[in-house]
Each structure stands twice: as C-alpha cells, then as structure tokens.
C-alpha cells in the first residue's frame, strides 16, 4: 500500500508538472505576443510623435507667415480704414449707417448685420439702402468696388493713378 501511495504521489506530481509546463508555455506565448504588440505600438507611437513634431513645425511656420502678413498689411489696412472713415464722412453717413457700411464691406448678410447690431433684418436692409443712396451707388458690389478698386491694381499702376 505504501508503494501505491508513493506511486500515486509521483504520478500526481508528474501530472501537476506537465500542467504547469503547459501553462508556462501558454503564458510564454502570450508574453511573446504582448511583447510584439508593444513593439508595434512603440513604433507607431514614434511615428505619431514624428508626425506631431512635423505638424507643430508647420503650424509655427504658418503662424509666422500670418504674423509677417499682418505686419506688412497693417499700414495699408490702417490707411484704408482712415480712407473709408473719411469717405463715410463725405457721404454724411450716420453712425448706424457707418457701422452697417463697414459690416457690408466685411461681407456680412443683412441678417448677420441685424444680429450683430441687435436690430431687425428689415432695419439692417433699410440702413444698407440708405448707405447706397447717400453714396450714389447701386448696391453692395459697387460699395466694395469703390474702396477696393485701387487696391487691386498692380503697385506701379496704383502709384501712377
């Protein structure tokens, strides 16, 4: 009987060892797959970091270009603003009509002008008509053209004109 208990214990130990080895093999395979996946993810993360760096550099370039343009255009835009104000003064526009005129030049619709100014669309439309009438212009296109015509000429023609 003693031999059979010992034999059973040995068989049990062998079975247990075999099961442990199988589990270890499965865990080893899973660990290898996890390591491969982690390596793939590391590569993808590195690629994404490179793309993010490239996008940051591009954004910085675009911002610098926009800042250069703003600086170069500031003098011209300031001068244009003064010229527009002076012309509105010559046309004897009221303060409301001046505001509507500027919003028209910015390209806002009558409804958008009404929303910005807190008035009805009908009021905005009537004020726009008053601007056109006082200016002797037929509409929005002529108003814009009145101020932009000289800006669109090549530099040498604008200076001669």
Specify whether 66 is located in the same domain as 4: yes
Residue numbers of the domain that contains 63: 1-71
In terms of residues, how long is the chain?
161
Specify whether 27 is located in the same domain as 57: yes
Specify whether 1 is located in the same domain as 67: yes
DSSP 42-92: HHHHHHHHHHHHHHHHHHHHHHHHHHHHHHHHHHHHHHHHHHHHHHHHHTT
Total domains, the chain:
2
Query: For each of the chain's 161 residues, which pLDDT tens digit applies?
Result: 566 777 777 788 888 888 888 888 888 889 898 999 999 999 999 999 999 999 999 999 999 999 998 888 887 778 788 889 999 999 999 999 999 999 999 999 999 999 999 999 999 999 999 999 999 999 999 999 998 886 666 655 544 44
Q: Is 125 exposed, middle or buried (0-12, 13-18, 19+ CB in 10 A)?
A: middle
Half-sphere exposure of residue 132, counting CA atoms within 13 Å on the CB side? 16
């Amino acid at each position: 009987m003693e031999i059979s208990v010992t034999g059973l214990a040995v068989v049990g130990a062998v079975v247990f060892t075999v099961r442990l080895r199988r589990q270890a093999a499965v865990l080893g395979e899973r660990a290898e797959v996890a390591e491969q996946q982690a390596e793939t993810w590391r590569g993808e993360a590195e690629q994404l970091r490179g793309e993010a760096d490239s996008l940051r550099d591009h954004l910085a370039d675009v911002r610098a270009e926009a800042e250069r343009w703003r600086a170069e255009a500031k003098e011209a835009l300031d001068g244009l603003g003064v010229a527009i104000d002076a012309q509105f003064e010559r046309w004897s526009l009221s303060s409301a009509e001046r505001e509507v005129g500027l919003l028209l030049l910015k390209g806002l619709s009558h409804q958008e002008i009404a929303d910005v100014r807190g008035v009805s669309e009908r009021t905005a439309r009537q004020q726009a008509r008053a601007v056109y009438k006082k200016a002797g212009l037929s509409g929005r296109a002529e108003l814009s053209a009145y101020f932009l015509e000289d800006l669109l000429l090549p530099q040498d023609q604008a200076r001669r004109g």
